[in-house]
Structure 1
Amino acid sequence: MALLYGLITALAFGAGDYIAGQVTKRVPTLLVVLYAQAFGAVVMLPAALVSGHSLSVSAVIWGLLGGLSLGLGFLLYFHALSLGKMGVVSSIAGILSAVIPVAAGLLIGERPGTAALAAIAMIVLSIFLISKKDANGKTGGTTVKVLLQSAAAGVLLGGFFIFLHIPASGESMWTVFFTMSGSFLGVAVLLIVRRADIRVKKQAWPFILGNGFLQTFGAVTYVAGVNIGLMSIVALAGALSPLFTVIFARLLIQEYLNKFQISGILVALSGIALLVVTT
């Protein structure tokens, strides 16, 4: 069941990333992140109030840290994508966002088992393959600065999974509320410093709100998963969001899938199947 929650998280994040990719063609990324996270916080407040979960210092601190990690991670990731080769950037960020929570889980004593570790390796490989672009992809140069931004984005997105795992299960809904709030506040401060125009055309709102709902829903299913299972497995499954992003792009806008991405999808499905029969 924990693995299923992780896969639902990946599905929600992957769909959200697809929507964000479409709307950021017309709206600045900062504004998409700002309003999506604000909507997520609005959605989570009544949910947290009626959940019966405890509003604790732990939920506030780790939720805010998770939100800042998520918001800053997205901003660095999108900025790196705009500057470097998309395949390189997405591979580095995707792999680190998967490996870091797995490593953290192993460090705190989680032992997934030999077969599960083999599945973990397969899924990490699949993320690399799914993120890889061929000659039809972006051809811009990838500098050391872009590589560092990609790595930092992956570390921060991996940290998001770790921070949400720390509070007790009876604090989960408040943790997600403060995660969305922390992400919103971090981006809001950046926009205030830049004195940016925060107006958005009405045509973009359904996409922005849809992205915010999906990210929030994914965070909820993630904490539900880690409350009953291993973080090293649930977070790894949650990091499979690129799998669902490319599937949505293929189904909805007939985006071309290269041989690497097709291979990555097959490897991911194999790794998931192995996890299903071993966990």
Structure 2
Amino acid sequence: MTALFALATALLWGLADFGGGLLTRRLPALTVVVASQVLAVVALGAVVLGTGAWREAGPQLWFAVAAGLVGPVAMLSFYEALALGPMGVVSPLGSLGVVVPVAAGLALGERPGPGQFAGIAVAVAGIVLAGGPELRGAPVQRRAVVLTLTAAFGFGAVMALISHASSGVTGLFLALF
């Protein structure tokens, strides 16, 4: 069942990025981000209030709050980058954010095995190759690359913060941030 939820989450996350990228070509990125965040807070807030999940607040909540502040900035940077650059470059390059939670885990004493390190290296190499320079077409604007890397760092920071917050704050309440 966990794998099914993981696949559904990946699909929905990808659809959200794709839809947000398309919308930012027609609307200002700030409008898209604010609208999506307001809708998410309303929907998740209703679920949290309805289920009583708000009672779970503890000291780890501050990590969730930090993730809630960093996330929209990362999303705004990502959508602006998608509006400026080709999706085939911006999207894979934005996936380099995986480096942040890996680095955070290593800094906190986690030690992956050789197979895990090999998997991390292959994943990062694949991301770099998939988002590498286009051999045809116009070059990617420097601003699009900077915004994409800002988004990648932000998304990675959100994942690391949520991981830390989830050790004390569970499920629905954590999702609100």
Normalising by the smaller structure, the TM-score range is 0.7 to 0.9
Contact map agreement 1:87 1:132 (CA 8 A) in 2: no
Matches within 5 A, 1:177-192: 177=176, 179=177
- Counterpart CA distance in 1 for 2:4 and 2:111 is 19
User: Could you say which residue in structure 1 is the equivalent of 2:108?
Assistant: 108
1:55 aligns with 2:57: yes
- Counterpart CA distance in 1 for 2:16 and 2:81 is 19
Matches within 5 A, 1:55-74: 55-59=57-61, 61-74=62-75
Contact map agreement 2:85 2:144 (CA 8 A) in 1: yes
- Counterpart CA distance in 2 for 1:120 and 1:4 is 23
Counterpart secondary structure, 2:56:
coil
- Counterpart CA distance in 2 for 1:17 and 1:65 is 21
Structure 1: gaps of 5 or more residues: 180-279
Compute the displacement of 1:105 (Å): 1.4
**Equivalent position amino acid for 1:56 in 2:** G
Structure 2: gaps of 5 or more residues: none
Compute the displacement of 1:146 (Å): 4.7
Compute the displacement of 1:4 (Å): 6.5
User: Could you say which residue in structure 2 is the equivalent of 1:36?
Assistant: 36
Contact map agreement 2:60 2:169 (CA 8 A) in 1: no
Aligned with 1:153 (options 151, 154, 157): 151
Compute the displacement of 1:77 (Å): 2.4
Q: Deviations 1:17-50 (Å, cap 9, x if unpaired)?
A: 1122233333222111111111111111132231
Q: Percent identity?
A: 29
- Counterpart CA distance in 2 for 1:106 and 1:3 is 25
- Counterpart CA distance in 1 for 2:140 and 2:134 is 14
- Number of matched pairs: 174
Q: Deviations 1:87-107 (Å, cap 9, x if unpaired)?
A: 554454321x11111111122
User: Could you say which residue in structure 2 is the equivalent of 1:174?
Assistant: 173
Contact map agreement 1:76 1:149 (CA 8 A) in 2: yes
- Counterpart CA distance in 2 for 1:150 and 1:5 is 27
1:162 aligns with 2:175: no
**Equivalent position amino acid for 1:149 in 2:** L
User: Could you say which residue in structure 2 is the equivalent of 1:247?
Assistant: none
**Equivalent position amino acid for 2:21 in 1:** G
Higher relative contact order (CA 8 A, sep 6+): 1
Q: Return closer, same or farther for 1:154/1:19 CA change in 2, 3 Å cut-off.
A: same
- Counterpart CA distance in 1 for 2:109 and 2:141 is 37
Contact map agreement 2:60 2:168 (CA 8 A) in 1: no
Task: Tell which deviates more after alignment, 34-43 or 73-82.
Answer: 73-82
Q: Return closer, same or farther for 1:116/1:127 CA change in 2, 3 Å cut-off.
A: same
Compute the displacement of 1:158 (Å): 0.8
- Counterpart CA distance in 2 for 1:32 and 1:146 is 18
- Counterpart CA distance in 2 for 1:7 and 1:110 is 26
User: Could you say which residue in structure 2 is the equivalent of 1:75?
Assistant: 76
Matches within 5 A, 1:1-12: 6-12=6-12
